[in-house]
Amino acid sequence: MFDKVAIVGPGLIGGSMGMAMRRRSLADHIVGIGRRQVSLDAALRVGAIHSATLDLNEGLAGADLVVLATPIGTFERLAGPVAEAIDPGAVLTEVASSKVQVIETLQAALGACEDVQLVPTHPMAGSEQSGPLAADEALFEGSVCIITPLQDQETEAFPRIRGLWQALGATVVSMSPSQHDRLVARISHVPHLAASALMHTVDEGTMHYCGGGLKDTTRIAASSPDLWMDIYRSNREEIREAMRDYIGTLRRMMDALDADDMPALREQLEQARCRRDELAVRLAERAARE
Amino acid sequence: MFDKVAIVGPGLIGGSMGMAMRRRSLADHIVGIGRRQVSLDAALRVGAIHSATLDLNEGLAGADLVVLATPIGTFERLAGPVAEAIDPGAVLTEVASSKVQVIETLQAALGACEDVQLVPTHPMAGSEQSGPLAADEALFEGSVCIITPLQDQETEAFPRIRGLWQALGATVVSMSPSQHDRLVARISHVPHLAASALMHTVDEGTMHYCGGGLKDTTRIAASSPDLWMDIYRSNREEIREAMRDYIGTLRRMMDALDADDMPALREQLEQARCRRDELAVRLAERAARE
């Protein structure tokens, strides 16, 4: 499928892509590019990449696919050097959790590279862990990968990247960058804030008594604040709107409690339960397709 | 440990207690008392009880331990008949998720029964499922059981009930009924409202894209609104206070987003992460003790 794949940042997502591509023989050679030798060594050890380099130019030379899998906060710094080092005709893809701002940054840097085709993607998979040691070759099986193709390129690069994700086991869905950002604010970013805020309502003393409920509800609050800060910065407007909705819903629940209007509260909980049951069905269907 | 145990409502919790007591030979005979034959048949089939009856008087006759394991909403109706039917000298325990109001109801009914000792407990275990078919004899292993003993009875009944829960694999903690209600508002009730409210911020279209994050965060939103309504009614004041805290935390996060004050948001997320890491350690320690 590809001759040489360069993964800039072979961590949880990049490393899992490397592993999965190797297992499925989708690339002749996969090189990992990073800033710290110890991370690259780990990526090599877990089999995420064939070779490693600290030198971006060396890594990108001859690559027909470049995967930008570093945190969003590095994109400003990396976009220029990547645009300079990438081969003409190569496909550039990235896996960031927000799209509108990320695409602006990359397109501005790529301005001059007419031959390079950017295909933004967001694999909806991951865990609260990070780094190459958390990489998992089955991470994308049964997952959804969103692609936000740019207007002028539904032709060549897009089908290749779509095929790649399908080969890795993902269901591929295409939408606009702004649709994507609105979506993830609701299914991912606000749930992270909600889970984090819950940890502020329990203190050390109460924690001792926690059962499975709080454990599951707050699992995503264990993930790295630095990764999330990048996301919050780059998708701030959509997150603010979704947060306003979320706080508004909680306020309506609170109003029902204040007024002792239990039928109103019950109705809100019943709607939530129905929707949650529907979510369980969708997830089960997806698992069955795997 | 007990000659005859009567479990009023052998569902998820009552049925699991029955199973676990049978497996450990803690009772010579366990009778299940219910209102619907089909539920009692299910409890018999899964081995939660030795015999079943729809007749409260028949079930309670001769029992030295009576376990009230029905939803909180039934306590008003059941307290009187239980007080009338219970043997003098028997121990009465219940497993409701809130305590202050529940104890008031039961004590008012038990007024005349001087020999009956009430020991309120709250096993911090369960699942989003309910009913005898969801019962599990290992449900309490490694869990915490809170006992809120009444002032005059630390002597005889309390150690017996503490011993029972320890034998079922739980770590027993004792506290006052109001401490208990304040605690569970924070570790259980507000997380349920928070998870339910999250389901209102996603619609059918967005649900298709959900990953594991939203799935775990909203798991408890799948549980029965009716059970929860009983809890919300009986612990309303503590829940309102904890909800005020929770919404306040979310508002502070929102303020940071509005003001683009990313260091403030980062600090809030970092505190949440530290606390969540601590919770993971506590849960791992508890699992290791199992």
Please write the tens of the pLDDT for every residue from B254-269. 999 999 999 999 999 9
Most confident of A60-69, A134-143, B120-129: A60-69
CA distance A278 to A269: 14
Tokens 């590809």 belong to which residue?
Answer: A2
Tokens 């407007």 belong to which residue?
Answer: A237
| In contact, B21 and B49? CB cutoff 8 Å | no
> pLDDT at position B62, please?
96
**3-class secondary structure, A170:** coil
Q: Which residues are registered as beta bridge partners of A256? A: none
Interface test with A, best of B99, B147, B180, B200 (most A CBs within 10 A): B200
Which pLDDT band holds residue B155 (cuts at 50, 70, 90)? low
Nearest residue to B95 via CA among B220, B230, B3: B230
| In contact, A194 and B205? CB cutoff 8 Å | no
> pLDDT at position B64, please?
96
DSSP secondary structure code for residue B25 in this structure: T
Find chain A residues with C-beta within 8 A of B249's C-beta.
197, 200-201
Q: Identify which of B217, B242, B257 has the shortest CB distance to residue A243.
A: B257
Nearest residue to B21 via CA among B173, B155, B123, B149: B123
The token pair at B195 is 């998870």
State how far Cα A186 lies from the chain centre: 14
What is the chain A residue with the closest CA to B182? Answer: A206
Which pLDDT band holds residue A105 (cuts at 50, 70, 90)? very high
| In contact, B103 and B147? CB cutoff 8 Å | no
| In contact, A46 and A34? CB cutoff 8 Å | no
Length of chain A: 290
Does the pLDDT at position A154 exceed 90?
no
The answer to whether B217 contacts A217, with C-beta atoms less than 8 Å apart, is: yes
State how far Cα B150 lies from the chain centre: 18
**3-class secondary structure, B6:** strand
Q: Identify which of B207, B219, B272 has the shortest CB distance to residue A278.
A: B207
Average the pLDDT over A104-110 and give the result. Answer: 92
A148: alpha, beta or left? (left if phi > 0; alpha if psi -120 to 50): beta
Interface test with B, best of A72, A140, A270, A275 (most B CBs within 10 A): A275
Interface test with A, best of B13, B143, B210 (most A CBs within 10 A): B210
What is the chain A residue with the closest CA to B206? Answer: A183
> pLDDT at position B128, please?
66
B271-B217-B16 Cα angle (round to 5): 115
What is the chain B residue with the closest CA to A213? Answer: B220
CA distance A52 to A40: 6
Which pLDDT band holds residue B146 (cuts at 50, 70, 90)? very high
Does the pLDDT at position B199 exceed 80?
yes
Does the pLDDT at position A132 exceed 70?
yes
CA distance A205 to A220: 22
| In contact, B23 and B137? CB cutoff 8 Å | yes
Does the pLDDT at position A155 exceed 70?
no
The answer to whether A222 contacts B146, with C-beta atoms less than 8 Å apart, is: no
Q: Identify which of B146, B197, B225 has the shortest CB distance to residue A246.
A: B197
Q: Of the given ranges (A242-246, B133-137, B141-145), which has the lowest mean pLDDT?
A: B141-145
DSSP secondary structure code for residue A164 in this structure: H
Q: Which residue has the higher pLDDT, A286 or B111?
A: B111
| In contact, B159 and A232? CB cutoff 8 Å | no
What is the chain B residue with the closest CA to A143? Answer: B211
Find chain B residues with C-beta within 8 A of A219's C-beta.
213, 216-217, 276
- The secondary element (H helix, E strand) that includes residue A231 is helix A225-234
